[in-house]
Every structure is written in C-alpha cells, then in structure tokens.
Amino acid sequence: MSAPRRLVIATRESRLALWQAHHVRDRLRALYPECEVELLGMTTTGDQILDRTLSEIGGKGLFTKELEVALADGRADLAVHSLKDVPMELPEGFELAAVLEREDPRDAFVSVRYASFEALPQGARIGTSSLRRGAQIAQTRPDLQILPLRGNLDTRLGKLDRGEYDAIVLAAAGLKRLGLSERIRQVLPPSLSLPAPGQGALGIEIMSHRSDVRGWLAPLVHSTTWLEVTAERAVSRALGGSCRIPLAAYAVVQPDGSLQLDALLATDNRFRTTRVSTDTAPAFDSAEALGLRAAEQLA
C-alpha cells in the first residue's frame, strides 16, 4: 500500500481533545513524512450543553456525532476520541480502526484544600460528571455531598479553584496528558474507584469502507490496550452501558499473559462487583467473551 499524501483528523476543540489529535497527527507524520496531516476542529453537542448531565441529554454519542458527519461527507478521514466517550455501538458504516497505548486509566482526586479522599470532612462537596464515580463515592462515603460537574477539564478545574467544590474527581489520563499532574492530590486505586470502560485510551474512528485509512493506521494499534478495552466494552455493551447507568470495567493483561477483568454495576437497590479472568493469553474473541461472562454475573 502506498503512503498517504494527505489526511484530515476530525477532533473536538477542547484543550485535551486537541492534545489527543496532535498526538495522533505527530505519530502519523513520523510514519509518513511526506504526508500532509491536518486537523478539523469541531464543537459537538456534548460540548455545548453544560447545564445538564450527559444522562439527561443523550449520552456519549453527543461527543461523536458531529465528527462522524465530517467522516461521512468526506471532510475528514479519521476522528480521534477519548475511548470512554465512544458509544458501545457505532452507527452503521463506522468502525474503530485503532486503539493507541493507554495512559493511566485510573481516576484522580483533585482538591485545593485536602490531600486525599480520606481526608475530606463529613458533608464535603465533591464534584463529578459521572454516575459511575458518584455511585462508588456514595458507597464508600455516604456522608459526602456529590454534586454535578460538567465542562471541559479547564472549566472543571476553574470551578474547583473558585471554591464551588471541596474536591473533584477527574480522569488521571487527561491531567497527565496536559502536563497537570501536579493537580493530582491522589490517584484513586481501582478498589475505591473502578475506571470506566476504555478510560485512558484513545480510539480512532473511520468509515468502514476506508480500507486504505485502516491500513495506514495499523502501525498505531497497541494490541495489549485493544485487548483490555475489548473486554471492558463488552461488559458495557451487554448491559446497555451508557451514561445512564453506573457501570465500571477495568481489564489488565497479567504478567503470565492472562487477562483479568473487574467490573461493577450499581442500581438503586444493589451494588455488585465481579472479577473474571482467562486461563491463558487471550485473543480478541475470548476477550469479548470474558466481558460477556462478567456482564452475566452482574445482571
């Protein structure tokens, strides 16, 4: 296959989304030095509606729809997403062509006044946009006030700094990618806050018929990360995962090559967790099956 001459990347315009798109652009330029790689910045519906939670306004697809329109009408060749924002079922004609190596998938505790989650006093105000995070916080610390928190990363940090919250919980990956690691007071262990499916990973979406783009992106694929997120997303897909239910899934390839998956589902009347693993090093179909097994145990 000949090298590409020009590629256009569709991206949201938040600072974090642009970092992610620039990262992919730089990787592509390194692979194909003669290729002109451009960014097409876009504002999505999810970026525009900030006064309601994602569960109220339609879920994860609000961060991808406009980018998919750009792919469909030929203005862009690929779209870069935070994988945790990508719906479990893509529209017909679209596919995930690559998943890049994961950054830290854990959640981060961020506070101006308090050094750790455990140090929060009774009744403290903690902000999160995620039902998943909120359910786990409430399970551990029912005394805390869990308040909604929307906006891009800089907006959320600004609200914390203005004193609207005593602490907030964010994805560690975003803070680290933007050089804001010093804002992290504590990286929350999965035993306290199990991550969202795909958290910390970048996914690249294309039109399914673009076999040329799929081939050009192949060197960017990180097989271990893709294996892990395949299991995680299978849990969510099987349980109808969206922003409307508190669901977590976190898979890790173990030193012996096996795949271990922890998953969590919280509802009004129960809080369930499970751990499943493969016996040997898995293939993608067995990673999917592992996720389905975990979903059966949680259902």
Q: According to the model, what pLDDT value does residue 129 have?
A: 84
Q: How many CA atoms lie within 13 A of 210 on its CB side?
A: 25
Domain boundaries defined on the chain: 1-102+201-221, 107-188, 222-299
Asked whether the domain spanning 107-188 has the same topology as the one spanning 1-102+201-221, the reply is yes
Out of 2.60.40.10, 3.30.160.40, 3.40.50.300, 3.10.310.10, select the CATH number for domain 222-299. 3.30.160.40
Q: Domain 107-188, what architecture? A: 3-Layer(aba) Sandwich (3.40)
- Could you tell me the pTM of the whole model? 0.89
Each residue's pLDDT tens digit, 77-101: 999 999 998 999 999 999 999 999 9
Each residue's pLDDT tens digit, 272-295: 999 999 988 888 789 999 999 999
Q: According to the model, what pLDDT value does residue 267 have?
A: 84
pLDDT at 211 over 70: yes
Each residue's pLDDT tens digit, 132-180: 999 999 999 999 999 999 888 999 999 999 999 999 999 999 999 999 9
Q: According to the model, what pLDDT value does residue 44 have?
A: 66
Is 85 in the active site?
Answer: yes
Q: According to the model, what pLDDT value does residue 62 have?
A: 66
Q: Domain 1-102+201-221, what architecture? A: 3-Layer(aba) Sandwich (3.40)
Q: Please pick, among 47, 85, 107, 262, the residue that the annotation labels catalytic.
A: 85
